[in-house]
Each structure stands twice: as C-alpha cells, then as structure tokens.
Chains A and B, each alone.
Chain A
Amino acid sequence: MTPSRPTSGGPGSDIPPRKTAFGWNSPAVRAFAWQAVILGAVVALGAWFVWNALSALAARGIATGFGFLETPAGFDISESPIPFSPSDSYLRAYAVAVLNTVKVSVLAIVFATLLGTFVGIARLSTNWLVARCALLYVELFRNTPQLLQIVFWYVVISRLPRPRQALAPIDGVFFHNRGLNVAVPAADPLHLWMFAAFVAGCAGAWLLRRHARARGRLPRSLRTSLALVIGPPLLVWLAGGAPLAWDVPRLQGFNFRGGFVVNPEFLALMLGLSLYIAAFIAEIVRSGIQSVGRGQTEAARSLGLGRGQIYRLVVLPQALRVMVPPATNQYVSLTKNSTLGVAIGYPEIINIGNTTISQTGHTVEGIAMIMVFYLALSFAISGLMNLYNRRLGTA
C-alpha cells in the first residue's frame, strides 16, 4: 500500500519530496478491503458447508474418503469393454463407466461429423430440393431437446419386432428389440497383422505428405497416400491366404448369438447424440464454407483447378480454420450430453456414479469423481485448442 520512496529528493536535486496519496478511502484500499471481505465470506461459507456435511455424514455413520473404491461393487454392468463382475471393485466399475462414456462419445462424434458435413454441404447445394431437405433436417433436430430425442430412439428400438421377426434390411444385419446384430469377419490372428500394416501405412502416408509439402507437390500425393493406407493391410490379408469366414448372427432361443452385438441402450444413445449434434455441425460446416470468399473459388477456377481440387486445396483448408474451434465445442458438448444416457440405463459415468452413491452413501466423493473426469476432459481439450490456434497463428 505505502510504497517505500525516498522521503526527499537526492542530494543536489531540487525536486520537492512527493507525497503519496494514502487515505482510508483511496481506491487501492477500498479494492483491498472489498476483496478481503468477499474472500472471507466465500471461505466462511465453504467452511460452513463442509462442517454441515461432515456432521451430517457423522450422524449417518458414513466414513468420508475414497477408501470405498477398493471394496467390491456388488452390482453387474450390462455393457463393458473390459471384463467386469460384481466382485470387482468400485474403482473398476468407475473405469468401465469412463470407457463406456468414451466409446459412445467417440463413435457418435465420428458419425455426427460425417452426417453433419454431408448435410452442411447439402445446405449450400444449388439444388432447391436438396437444400430444403437439409434445412428441414437442421431445424427439426436443432429445435427439440436432446433428451427427448434420446428417449424417443430408445422407445423406437424397444418397440421393434422381437428377434424372431427381426428386420433384416441387408444380409447379415438384424434389427430387433434387443438391439442390433451385425455379421463381421470371424476373428482371425491375421487381423492383428493387418492392423499393424494399416498403422504402418498411415505413418508412411504421413511422411510422404510431409515430404510432398516440403517440395510443394501436394495435389498428386493424395492417390499415393490412399494406396499406402489401404494397400498394406490388403497385401497382408492376401498373403495370409485371404480368410473369408464370417461370424454371422444366428437365432438361438429368444435372441441372436454371434456377430457384432450392439445393445439397444448404446444404439439409442449413439443415434440421439449424433443426430442432434450433426445438425449443429452442419451449420458450422455451412458457415465455414461460406466464410471463404467467392474470389478464392473464382481464382482457383481461373487457374484451371477442378471442382474437387478447389474444395480440397482452396476452400477446405481455409474453411477448417473457421470450423475447428466451434466444432470442438460441439464435440465437448456431445461428450457432456452422453450423461443423458442415464435416462435410458446406458452404463455411463453418471449411471455408475448414481448406483455407487445410493449403495455407499458417498455422495460427495461420487459427484467429485464425475466432475474430475469431465473437468480433466474439458481442460485437456481447451489446452489442445489453444495449441491448435497458436499453430494456425504462426502458420
């Protein structure tokens, strides 16, 4: 508050000593006082909350702390990417919930991006019918609640015919009220090698792109990189004797066995999340493409580029700059909306958290764990976004 200034000018100076304005009503003092009062109030309120919670928990005989995570959960989870049984710990149940959340979110994001891009481009079509249909889609799905859509799809699936009368739109795909069964290539040790070849191909394509970009020869490398991504797994498959066995779902008793199984809860949540967010993605794609000036397209055309090349080399790189930040926001909000899966019984993080809380009474810890997951996710994504923006800024 009171700066330590020399009380007089140095020897030989004729500047009179300056007086600092100090009074109980000076802005600095008032600011300090206000902040102290507010901080004090917040701390006191927080302490009061904690005190109340601790005494309420003590009265109910509930120990606080995360020790309960080691104890067996005692409930089963209908859908789990990793093995889980009721004798496993709460911590493992939490891990299952996190994995389920990630699984449905990632798939829904991929689907929403594809559909949204498609609808967004259709919105800009010069074909009146196409543009109108795209607009209808966007308005319908954007202006009704996300939860209503999720619940609606869930009820639609649960009222599909029973497995015996399953709908089979194409061979090997069966829609019924227990979900969806899809025929897939039967598991084969070769698949692991094909995956390795795919990863290697991707790495090769990436290196080639870097190389081509350094030489300024990007347009031609697209076909080569596609070949690099698809070729190696195909070669491995052929070299391994081209196994063609399919794992086809078969009706056994009251349900299908085999194939790739999708639960109704997962299917409904995935559809609900992705159809809703796709409407927002479509608008982002549309405004991103519109943000690229007409002159850019015209200049590219006058250089002799084709329609596809104009989109890929001129419009898209510029539109992406505008599209990526809002699209990322939509992806984050999709992931947060996946908590609505609790309404239809999808075992995501809120669902498992709820069960844990009602079984153990560890309300604070349960909610804290849910919050920590989402906060970590949000901060990680906003950090990545900042990094991306900085790269764009220097590029």
Chain B
Amino acid sequence: MPPAIAGTAEAGEGPPPGVRGPVAWLRRNLFSNVFDTTLTLLLGAALLAVVPKLFAWAFLDSVWTAGDPAQCRDIAGACWAVIAEKHRVILFGTYRYDQQWRGVAVIALVVVLSGASMVRRLWPWPMAAAWLVAFPTVIVLMRGGVLGLVPVPTTEWGGLPLTIILFLGSVVGGLPLAVLLALGRRSKMPVIRALCVGFIEITRGVPLLTVLFMASMMMPLFLPASWTVDQVLRATLGMALFFAAYAAEIVRGGLQAIPRGQFEAAGSLGLGYWRTTLLIVLPQALRIVLPPLVSDIIRAFKNTSVVLILGLFDLLGATSAALSDPLWTNYYAEAYLVVAAIYFAFCYAMSRYGQSLERRLNARRNF
C-alpha cells in the first residue's frame, strides 16, 4: 500500500474533534439544547434530592441485626432486622423448621438449572429433559415419605419453594396442553375445533382468580364427596389451565406462520398428520414463538402470587403472614421491598434471556 494513501486513511480514522470523549458525550446526551438542558437540570435536582435520602435510609441509618424490635423504634433508617428475624417464615412459610434445608435444596436446584439454561449448547433436549425431571424431584423433596425423608403434608408448604412449585406446575403442565389446544383449534374436525375454541376463549375471557375459584371451590363440588383433591394441586391445576389458554394462542400464531409449502412437502414425503406435526411443523413453530412464550412464562411466575387470596402461603402470602406479628408489623416496607427484589430477580433474568433469544432467532429466521 502506498504511504500517501495509508496516511489519509489514518487521518480519516479518528472522528473529528469534539465528537468523542466524556464532554462531547455530555453535550450530546444531556445538554444538546435549551429544552434538553432544562430537563436534565430538573430531573437531576429531583434525583439529588431523593437518592441520597434513600441511600441513607437503606444503608447509613438502618438496623441489620435480628432480635429486639425495640432497636428499630428510634431510628430514621430501614429496619432490615425484620428480614433477619423473619426470613425463615418469608422464604419457607410454615414448612417445618428442621426440614427447611429441603426448601433450600429446591431453590438451589432451580437456580442452578436456570443458570444452566442460559448455556445454548444444552438446548433443546438436555435442558428440556432436565426441567422435566426437575419438577418431580422438587415435589418429592418437598413431600418426603421416600428415601428416608420425613413426609410433610402440602398444607405446611409455603414460601419461595411453593411459588416455584406453582410456577413449574403451571408451565410444565400447561405447555403440552397449550400445544394440543392450538393444534385442536386448527383442526379440520368441527367438534374438536369448537371444544378448543370454547375452552380457550372462555378461559381467556375471565380473570385468573375466577379460574382459581373454579378449581378450589367448584371442583370439590363437582367430584364425588369421597374424593378429596389437595389444595396445592387444585391451585396448580387452575394455574396450568389458565396458562395453557394463553400459551395456546401464542403457539397458534407460530403454527400460522409456517408456510403451506412445509405441509405440502411433508405430505409429498408420505408423512401423516402426527409425523408432519411432530417432525416438521412444531419444531419450527415453537422456535418462532419462543420470545412471546417467554413473556407469558414470566407472567405465569408473577401470577403465582394470586394464590395468596386462596389462603396459600406462597412467597407473598408467607410475607403477609410474617408481618401479622404485631411486634414487626410496622416494618412492612422493608419486607415487601425484599420480596419484590426476589420476584424482580427471577422476572428480570427471564426477560433478559427472552430478549437475547429474540435477537438470535431474528438473525436466523429463514422465512
């Protein structure tokens, strides 16, 4: 390469002065015109007024040690002592105290599996299989009665493990049903189509709480008096049905996006309905709908908190129960903030994962 050209290239490489660097960045992003500068100054002043106070409340003036609630009475800051004191109730509800390591194991299992799920190479089969195995493992761990574990009735289940069980139950149970419902809605058989449309539309038309009431209040009425169905199971069933109705519509969107040519090619290869569906259509359709499905799964996680109204002690329900202790009831804000942070951690991680999935799938779409 001749030196003259190399010289001009070098000169052209750097941006003109005043485009890079912190000052230029500030000018471009915070003070580009009068309106912009006013906004920055106003918002900055508001943040300066609030953030140091919040910081002082949370860290400088706060009490962290468990024990006497009296130590929180005269302080200006947060009383994190309520967490130190009540974290066992908040995290595990009424689960028997000496067995709460099983709850820890459940949480650890799910967190580890979630971490492993971020590794792309493990998808789809190893991870799907792992989650399918994880669900019964979690149930066995909580229930006990085998492998020398003390049996614990579901009425004692609570806290984060219960939230996780409700969540896993609604997704693991709801997804297969959703696929069946979506296929049924696109079926050529009028009776099956009508049944699927009816179920999907009615379930989507009513609030989750109604579906849960159906499961918790009507189901015992509709079954013979001698059959008793466990309350946790009933709630999980209701959540799974609700999730399935919403997920079915998302899966249907994916099915509709598959071009006709795919069906025709499968038909010309001599594949029947089920083999076409399982080998050709579903793998492609599910891949397309993964991002919206992830946001529905996040919603399923947030929805588990509704079982509080049925009287179950999930993470939120257990927290409310813990705060009913008159000694600690004044420190609700601290407790709810910590619980909100736990929910946020799960939901935010899932939503970031969904976004990265979406970017990758958009790059690889072939039709």
Contacts and interface: CB of A to CB of B under 8 A. Distances in A.
Contacts of B109: none
Given A130-B39, A144-B340, A148-B305, A364 B218 contact: yes
Interface in B200-242: 202, 204-210, 213-214, 217-218, 221-225
A52 B309 contact: no
Interface string B280-315: 000000000000000000100011111011000000
A321 B343 CA distance: 34
Given A35-B191, A148-B316, A143 B351 contact: yes
B348 interface: yes
A15 B204 CA distance: 55
Contact of B316 (A151, A156, A337, A371): A151
A340 B302 CA distance: 13
A52 B40 contact: no
Contact of A145 (B188, B309, B316): B316
Nearest to A125: B39
Given A130-B39, A146-B302, A155-B332, A52 B224 contact: yes
B93 to A, nearest CB: 16
Contact of A126 (B29, B192, B225): B29
A248 B39 CA distance: 35
Contacts of A343: 308-309
Interface string A303-324: 0000000000000000000000
A341 to B, nearest CB: 10
Q: Chain B: interface secondary structure?
A: helix
Contact of B347 (A50, A130, A144, A363): A144
B151 interface: no
A367 interface: yes
Contacts of A159: 330, 332
A52 B30 CA distance: 69
Which interface class (under 10, 10 to 19, 20 to 34, 35 or more) fits B? 35 or more
A24 interface: no
Interface string B304-340: 1110110000001000100000000010110010011
Contacts of B298: 143
A371 B208 CA distance: 11
A67 B202 CA distance: 26
Contacts of B333: 152, 155-156
A38 to B, nearest CB: 6
B216 to A, nearest CB: 11
Contacts of A350: 207, 209-210, 213
Interface residues of A, number: 53
A363 B218 contact: yes
Nearest to B344: A143
16 contacts: A38-B192, A39-B195, A52-B222, A129-B44, A139-B348, A144-B302, A144-B347, A145-B303, A146-B302, A147-B305, A148-B343, A151-B336, A336-B206, A336-B207, A367-B213, A378-B204
Interface of B: 29-30, 32, 36, 39-40, 43-44, 47, 188-192, 195, 202, 204-210, 213-214, 217-218, 221-225, 298, 302-306, 308-309, 316, 320, 330, 332-333, 336, 339-340, 343-344, 347-348, 351
Interface of A: 31, 34-36, 38-39, 42, 49-50, 52-53, 56-57, 59, 125-130, 133, 139-140, 142-148, 151-152, 155-156, 159, 336-337, 339-340, 342-343, 350, 357, 363-364, 367, 370-371, 374-375, 377-379
Q: Which 10 pairs between the two chains have the least Cβ-Cβ distance? A: A378-B205, A143-B347, A128-B29, A336-B207, A35-B191, A49-B222, A145-B305, A145-B302, A339-B207, A374-B206
